[in-house]
Structure 1
Amino acid sequence: MQLKIDQDYLRDTLKALLETPSPSGMTDEVVRFVCSELDTLKISYELTRRGAIRATIKGRNDAPRRAVAAHLDTLGAMVKGLKRNGRLRVVPIGHWNARFAEGARVKIHCDNGTVLTGTILPLKASGHTYNKGVDEQPSAWENLEIRVDATAVGVDELWELGVRVGDFVSVDSQPQIHPNGFVNGRHLDDKAGVTSILAAAKALVESDQKPYADCHLLFTISEEVGVGASHVLHGEVAEMVSVDNGTIAPDQNTCEYGVTIAMQDSSGPFDRALSQHLIGLCKREEIEFSRDVFLYYRSDAAAALEAGNDIRTALICFALDASHGWERSHLRSLNSVAQLLVQYLQSKPLFGEDENVIGSDQDYPLITPNEKLQRH
């Protein structure tokens, strides 16, 4: 049975998250926000030394434990140098193309507490001055600079304002949530995933429906730079579902208004049994879904496995167009992710507590011959 997902909460929480700067390496503010949400929901949690969140929803059984993970950190930038013309050299935090940085509104977070605003621009930003040179300049980070919204005409003025090499630069999301459900803005990856997890947790708490087994909600802080869930897991976790974006493109099979189960990403295939379990839940509860394979993509699950965790992993995705750029999703897709998470957390673990982690033929969730004809 599906639980009601609070649509106002989904919308309001997403907007608040998107408006909270959190480039990798500068995530304390967004961590505090999520902790306050967990406090409101009366969900216990602890913080790792680095600041990742490990929350726990108590289940009807202690073990084997599950985990659901999403990352709080986003793409961003950093000051590389102070220029004599009063502008700033800039380098990326995370992996994103310079063409998507052009025109971005940003905040420069100075060590003295000052927060300056500015715009990332190409070095040749005016056709009235450079004519065809604007189009001929290659799109590259070394061809970008930050124009600061301050009366800074040189290095001395920038220094007096408090600007230093290594200052973090957050990129404004500029979110727009339309009445028809479309959401536009930067950093939907992965704040839309975080929102879906919180909405699913709220639905469980308010309905007094306990998960089948204890479950950790993991909110990581360095996925965009490749670390992800490598350090936040406890050893007793048997299976983990990551929540991240599914890219919409002509050669992809991502579901624009539902949830997508990723069968493989650039780090390799996900656990077949766990992925088929999630597909089965979608079919049973009539949750709109699709399956997809991502060739140039990795998630928190990859970092968890590379760190040596002996767990089964899967990846479920909300739809995302123009990932790592001017992104767009739809609230229906976030709702579908939340619904699947509710069903997953209430379902039995794949295998029991015995040492036979492969399970018996009867336990293993293979597709039956009749179902093979219905596969998508």
Structure 2
Amino acid sequence: MRSVAIDDEYLRDVLLELLRTPSPSGRTDAVMQIIGDHLQELGVPIRLTRRGVLRATLTGQAADTSRAVVVHADTIGCMVKRLKENGRVEVVPIGTHSARFAEGAHVTLFTDDLTRIHTGTVLPLMSSGHNFGDAVDTQGVGWHQVEIRLDEPVETRQDLIDLGVSIGDFVALDAAPQITPNGYVKSRHLDDKAGLAACLAAVKALVDDGGSLPVTAHLLVTIGEEVGIGATHGLDDDVAELVAVDNGVVSEGQASREDTVNIGMLDSTGPFDYHLTRRLIALCEKNDLPFRRDVYRFYRSDAAPAVESGLECRTALIGFGVDSSHGHERTHLDSIRYTAQLLAAYLSSPLTFSEWDDQPTGALEDFPSHSVQPAEPEPERYPGRH
């Protein structure tokens, strides 16, 4: 294994570019074009599936067996359900998120005519304190309790139709990213744009370093994770290990932090691979990367649909820490950088059990047990705040 440096300026620039590009599940073409352009600029070959999932490949010394890092480009969003008689728009959520955090959000509505894109704001039905008084505070929370006010002179349903607004139009919650002087990143859709930035920064670091990887590695960028159909395809049976990159939940009762890389031990679909998870922990310890172990109850990542679709491989989950996930999200640049550093160290290391994992099947007596730990990786050192 070798030590490679993360380009902090590149990480920040890519992060902001991704955050400013709307990509609710079902409407991800624009952001996938950006991701593909960055990978091609790095000289990394890419292929897209029929549905638009992107796979980039870094060829390693062992090409008959591979590993994968999986991250998603889609975000939560909304879709037009009804054109209201008062000229407002009723929406339903894309992905799982509460209307509580949508209230007050600036949005962009995309019509079928791409030359007619409209901005607006999500408002509760009772949004005027001067009209409704204390009733504003007692109104319920839910998607049936909010509506979108478009920034257009519309007062009737027909006015909306004349604007080209239709049932089924996509609505993106504007990210409005900010990076504070002390490194905090405040934005919607850090899940999983920050993960994408970490992955691209790790790939750039490995390409710039110029060395060869021990095992061929794929970066799979999925487009339906928020609706449960992320890594359902795009990889083949040669993949022995899969590491999903997503947010670490920072909240009361959780161990994850905004200034560390976080390693998921279990999510709502069950525990991750015992040995691969502990290999990642060992890499953090050997490279002086601050990390936390955590368990996530109401959460699943791209690892779940990959296994459910029949991929037979070890799986693990790592991520940057996000406070108020699927709400008013915040992380720190350190967390994204440490995630990128862990990915670079992981891709520079051998498989967890090279002699076993390079074949799809083997003998019972050769199967690694919990009493057999993977060999400790050689130390690596990275720059960064510790």
Would you call these one fold, judging by a TM-score over 0.5? yes
Equivalent-residue separation in structure 2 for 1:137 and 1:69 (angstroms): 41
Displacement of 1:362 in angstroms is: 11
Q: Which residue in the other structure is 1:372 paired with?
A: none
1:147 aligns with 2:149: yes
Displacement of 1:82 in angstroms is: 0.8
Letter paired with 1:45: I
Structure 1 segment 216-255 matched on structure 2, within 5 A: 216-255=218-257
Q: Which residue in the other structure is 1:16 paired with?
A: 17
Structure 1 segment 1-376 matched on structure 2, within 5 A: 1-113=2-114, 114-351=116-353, 352=355, 353-354=358-359, 355-356=361-362, 359-360=367-368, 364-365=372-373
Equivalent-residue separation in structure 2 for 1:328 and 1:203 (angstroms): 25
Equivalent-residue separation in structure 2 for 1:350 and 1:143 (angstroms): 50
Equivalent-residue separation in structure 1 for 2:262 and 2:373 (angstroms): 19
Equivalent-residue separation in structure 2 for 1:220 and 1:99 (angstroms): 27
Q: Which residue in the other structure is 1:373 paired with?
A: none
- The DSSP-based 3-state class of the residue aligned with 1:60 is strand
Displacement of 1:360 in angstroms is: 4.8
Deviations 1:114-142 (A, max 9, x none): 10000000000111111111111111100
Equivalent-residue separation in structure 1 for 2:63 and 2:367 (angstroms): 19
Letter paired with 1:184: K
Equivalent-residue separation in structure 2 for 1:179 and 1:302 (angstroms): 37
Letter paired with 1:330: H
Displacement of 1:304 in angstroms is: 0.6
Equivalent-residue separation in structure 2 for 1:232 and 1:5 (angstroms): 27
Please, what TM-score do these two structures have when normalized by structure 1?
Answer: 0.95
Unaligned runs of 5+ in 1: 369-376
Q: What percent of counterpart residues are identical?
A: 49
Displacement of 1:306 in angstroms is: 1.0
- Matched length: 368
Deviations 1:130-169 (A, max 9, x none): 1111111111100110000001111111111100011000
Equivalent-residue separation in structure 1 for 2:257 and 2:284 (angstroms): 13
Q: Is the 8 A contact 2:352 2:374 kept in 1?
A: no
Equivalent-residue separation in structure 2 for 1:171 and 1:328 (angstroms): 16
Q: Is the 8 A contact 1:350 1:364 kept in 2?
A: no
- The DSSP-based 3-state class of the residue aligned with 1:39 is helix
Equivalent-residue separation in structure 2 for 1:184 and 1:178 (angstroms): 8
Deviations 1:39-78 (A, max 9, x none): 1100001000010101100112213200000000000001
Equivalent-residue separation in structure 2 for 1:170 and 1:362 (angstroms): 46
Displacement of 1:250 in angstroms is: 2.1
Displacement of 1:219 in angstroms is: 0.2
Q: Is the 8 A contact 1:193 1:244 kept in 2?
A: yes
Unaligned runs of 5+ in 2: 377-386
Give the root-mean-square deviation of aligned CA atoms.
Answer: 1.6
Displacement of 1:328 in angstroms is: 0.2
Letter paired with 1:110: T
Q: Is the 8 A contact 1:350 1:363 kept in 2?
A: no
Displacement of 1:359 in angstroms is: 3.7
- The DSSP-based 3-state class of the residue aligned with 1:229 is coil
Q: Is the 8 A contact 2:247 2:322 kept in 1?
A: yes
Equivalent-residue separation in structure 2 for 1:9 and 1:80 (angstroms): 39
Equivalent-residue separation in structure 1 for 2:375 and 2:96 (angstroms): 38
Tell me which moved more, 135-144 or 354-363: 354-363
Displacement of 1:274 in angstroms is: 0.3
